[in-house]
Amino acid sequence: MIAYPNCKINLGLHILEKRADGYHNLETIFYPISLSDILEIIENKNPENSPSFPLSTSGLPIQGNISSNLCVKAYKLLKKDFPKMPWVRVHIHKIIPIGAGLGGGSSNGAFALKMYNELFDLKIPQEKLLEYAAVLGSDCPFFILNKPCYATGRGEMLNEISLDLSGYKFVVVNPGIYINTGDAFRDIVPAIPEQRLTAIIQAPVADWKELLVNDFERSIFRKFPEVAAVKQQLYNAGAVYASMSGSGSTVFGIFKKEIPVQLSFPENYFVKELNN
């Protein structure tokens, strides 16, 4: 079975307060875009001749131990409740930049849950899949729904919203700068905004530039001016709206489809134009 786990962008991101458990309550709009990895899962008919978990990768290098990969964690999570699940082989072709605020790893984990469910006819309802996904990570439940959502809590509490940006194209730019999410949160002073995102998102896209804010941008742009420069170049090229996604370092621009986009970034930058 082959699937194409897509990524997301954050349309606005407010850090509201720090919680007693050390996490932060936030609000954001998750919006799916078509930049995707390729994920293949097949039954492993000869597990005795395989490593403990046969996971192979291609494309962008994936750091870390196999045991920390969310596709592996998703399998082990289901195996506890469905011990008769067959063994599997997993291959990930990585296209989505890693650790970049796009949720690529979370998407892989959530899609793996859905694929195991379908491949082995586990008959897990969506509500339960959402619970499993929340165990994997805060962003994972979104990719079970994979529709525009207003997210609160740690990002796992989701409400679908009506938001259609299919009349626009997206340009996604990653300058190859790794930003530690924990460090990014430590630089944030939580605050309740005057306007919540559910109200702001109702405004025309042309008005978002003055209204729709990612709270991480201020500190990230100060530390990494290259990221701020990406956003400015997207606006210079005619973006209707541009913002950093998540805690960065990816920046996206939303453009009218009829406008040709002329950009000039260093060769090592990841740049992708998408007709969503």
Question: What SS3 state is found at 114?
Answer: helix
User: Distance (Å, rounded) from C-alpha 211 to C-alpha 200?
Assistant: 7
Which H helix or E strand runs over 106?
A: helix 104-119
Closest CA to 228 of 175, 271, 266: 175
Which of 8, 94, 114, 169 is flagged as catalytic? 8
**At 77, which CATH number?**
3.30.230.10
Is pLDDT of 130 > 90?
A: yes
Single-letter amino acid, residue 275 = N
Same domain assignment for residues 39 and 147: yes
User: Distance (Å, rounded) from C-alpha 270 to C-alpha 237?
Assistant: 17
Same domain assignment for residues 208 and 141: no
**Which of residues 160, 182, 216 is at a domain's end?**
160
139 is catalytic: yes
- Cβ neighbours for 164, distance < 8 A, ≥ 6 positions apart: none
Is pLDDT of 51 > 70?
A: no
Tally of domains within the chain = 2
The per-residue pLDDT of the chain, averaged, comes to 93
Which pTM does this prediction carry? 0.94
What's the average model confidence in pLDDT over 53-76?
Answer: 92
Same domain assignment for residues 42 and 20: yes
- Expressed as residue numbers, the domain containing 222 is 168-274
Burial of 160 (0-12, 13-18, 19+ CB in 10 A): exposed
Q: What are the tens digits of pLDDT across the range 155-165? A: 889 999 999 99
Which of 139, 169, 215, 231 is flagged as catalytic? 139
Q: What are the tens digits of pLDDT across the range 173-188? A: 999 998 877 778 888 8
Q: In which band, very low, low, confident or very high, does the pLDDT at 248 lie, cut at 50, 70 and 90?
A: confident
Q: What are the tens digits of pLDDT across the range 185-222? A: 888 888 888 899 999 999 999 999 999 999 999 999 99
For 202-214, letters b (16+ CB in 10 Å) and e give: eeebeebeeebbb
73 is catalytic: no
